[in-house]
Amino acid sequence: MKPGLVVLIGSGETAPAAGQVYETLAGRLGQEFTAAVLETPAGFELNAAGVARKVADYLTLRLQNYRVNVICIPARKQGGLFSTNNPEILSPLLESQLIFAGPGSPTYTVKQLQNSLAWKYILARHRLGAALVFASAASIAIGKLALPV
C-alpha cells in the first residue's frame, strides 16, 4: 500500500476555489469514503465544534456527488473529556480515507498533537493510503518548525 496524498492549503479551505482540490481528492478516493475533520487546531476556542462543523458542512455540500460520510472528531486537547488520547473519540479516524485539520493556532495544534494517540492514528492512516489535508494553522503546525502563534 502506498502512502496517501498530503495537501497543504495556506488559507481559504472553505472558499469556492478550494472546491477543486477536494473534488480532485474525492476522485482519487472513490465514489464512497469517510472524511474526518479534527477539532484539535481550534480546540482552545469556545466554538471549536463550530469551526470544524463549518468545514464538514462545506465538504458535504461540495462533495454531494459522492457518498461521503463526514465526521467531526472532537479531540481538542491532550487531557480531559475531549482528549487527543481518547481512543473512543478517535476511532472514526481509523476508518477515514480523508483526514482534515485546519483553522486555529499552530502552536496549540503542535502541543496537543505531539506524541498523542490522534497523531499516531493520523500517521498510520496516511501510511495505509488516507489523504491528509492540512489547512490554515494546521498547515503551519505540521512543519519541522511552527510559528509560535
Strand order across the 98-101 sheet: 6-9, 131-135, 98-101, 32-38, 67-73
Q: What is the DSSP letter of 115?
A: T
CATH number of 6-141: 3.40.50.880
Q: What is the pLDDT of residue 51?
A: 98
CA 9/CA 143 separation, integer angstroms: 13
With 0.95 as the threshold, say if the pTM is over it.
yes
- Domain layout of the chain by residue ranges: 6-141
Least confident of 9-13, 44-48, 98-102, 142-146: 142-146
pLDDT (tens digit per residue) in 7-55: 999 999 999 999 999 999 999 999 999 999 999 999 999 999 999 999 9
Q: Whole-number mean pLDDT of the chain?
A: 97
Q: Residue 148 has what pLDDT? A: 79
Please report where in the chains the cell 480523508 appears, as a residue: 98
pLDDT: which is higher, 1 or 82: 82
CA-wise closest residue to 51 among 115, 103, 126, 108: 103
Average pLDDT over every residue of 50-77:
98
